Amino acid sequence: MPIQSIKTALLTGMFAIGCGCATFLDASRASAQAEGRAERSEPSVRVRVIGPDGRLTEPMMVPKVVLSDAQWRQRLTPDQFRITRRKGTEPAFCGGLLANKEPGLYACLCCDLPLFGSTTKFDSGTGWPSFNAPVAVENIREKLDRSMGMIRMEILCMRCDAHLGHVFRDGPPPTGLRYCLNSDAMRFVARNQILTIAEDPTAATRTGRGEATLVSARKETAEAVFAGGCFWCVEAVFRQLDGVVEAISGYSGGTARTANYKAVMTKRTGHAEAVKIVYDPEKISYEQLLRVHFATHDPTTLNRQGPDIGPQYRSSIFFADQQEKKIAEAFIADLNEAKVFPRPIVTKLEPLKAFYPAEDYHQDFVVCNPQHPYVLNVALPKVDQVRRQFSDLVKPDGQ
């Protein structure tokens, strides 16, 4: 898949950089990455399944399981449908898997994707099955949940989007996380029955009952993880772009044990304040996200953005695969060659090993705290800058 150069664009037109230190042209809107993904005939996701040997496979691309409500209703009980497809919650202390202590795996009720293992299950006293880690981070999708007048982190099955529950930051070591699950969103597979959910990676899409099913033309989303100073600003900048489904503040570069604000502020964790951007590559490309990112922070200052100083405020691109790395490398090389900035770019390219959502009070901080001095003086000017300079990329309602 070819990477389009932005060199010609850099020499024929310019836009203002948020830090006021340089200008450069609006890059071509046609992204090679978006084109490649759009060619796929069906949506797919990167997960780990149980292979024919009874073990977790390496991460691989598999088709999503997408059914109509009528099809799900045929396969699920009313309670199961309400919980997994309508984001319901079962009453506390009533779930059938709450007291289960047998060794084995907990798989998605809807598609059999392995989710949690018995070795990470613990009694949280909350009344719902609780785990401190999934069997594979690739198999869980996180999404901000703003229902019920609060901000929580919802967890869903990556393959079929079944609602599973929520994750909280009050769990036991070593992760400090509590994945709070509905029993009716999972099925328990005893250790000696693991092969019953084994899959041939080359087989057709599964429904969780060994049946092949048609996949709808629902669009695939992609993710990017960027760091460029305080995550309040970065999140607010990207949340307003058309095609961005979600922007989540968090930490990347360190371990789960130190993925909390108090630890990160010690400057010794290796974490950067980062933002995970979930986007529709048919509406906005990875290259366009890079354009906005480099326009709204100073990539030439090492471990610093304005008054925010420390390695946690470094400029960084966390690449998920070699294609993202190549696109970012080419983008930065073109900026340096065109001398867009008065100093060399020091943005780091780091492999994305994990992303840890930040505490709830950091999410949507700019929206929830519009009168905060930092928001007024640092974040909102960047938001306004994007609306002026990237009006063609901003959501129609400007939100």
Q: One of 108, 110, 230, 233 is an active-site residue; which one?
A: 230
The confidence score (pLDDT) of residue 338 equals: 84
* Residue 230 annotated in active site: yes
CA distance 234 to 247: 9
Catalytically annotated residue among 111, 157, 180, 233: 180
CB 234 within 8 A of CB 308: no
Specify the 3-state DSSP secondary structure of 361: helix
Q: Specify whether the CB–CB gap between 169 and 145 falls below 8 A.
A: no
Q: Is the Cα dihedral 314, 279, 256, 361 positive or negative?
A: positive
Task: Determine the pLDDT at residue 255.
Answer: 93
Decide if 180 is catalytic: yes
Tell me which residue of 244, 233, 321, 338 sits closest to 282, measured CA to CA.
244
Report pLDDT for 203.
Answer: 55
367/277 Cα distance (integer angstroms): 17
Instruction: Take residue 381 and report the two structure tokens written for it.
Output: 């000017």
Catalogue all structural domains in the chain, each as residue range(s) with its CATH number: 7-37+220-389 (3.30.1060.10), 44-197 (2.170.150.20)
Which DSSP string corresponds to 3-64?
A: PPP-HHHHHH--EE-TTSS-EEPPPPS--HHHHHHHT-SS-EEEE--B-TTSSBPPPEEEE-
The answer to whether the pTM exceeds 0.85 is no
The kind and range of the H/E element at 288 are helix 286-295
Rounded mean pLDDT for each run of 10 residues along the chain, 399 residues in total? 38 34 36 40 83 90 92 92 95 94 95 96 96 95 87 94 95 93 96 88 48 39 94 96 93 94 96 95 93 96 94 96 93 90 95 92 91 95 93 77
d(CA 182, CA 115): 12
Select from 312, 324, 315 the least CA-distant residue to 362.
312
Tell me the C-alpha distance between 83 and 90, whole Å. 7
CB 212 within 8 Å of CB 206: yes
Q: Which is it for the CA torsion 31, 32, 35, 36, positive or negative? A: negative
Distance, CA of 358 to CA of 169 (rounded, Å): 9
Is residue 213 within 8 A of residue 65, CB to CB? The reply is yes
Please report the pLDDT score of residue 311 as a whole number.
Answer: 97
- Rounded to 5 degrees, what are φ and ψ at 259? -85, 65
d(C-alpha 280, C-alpha 241), whole Å = 11
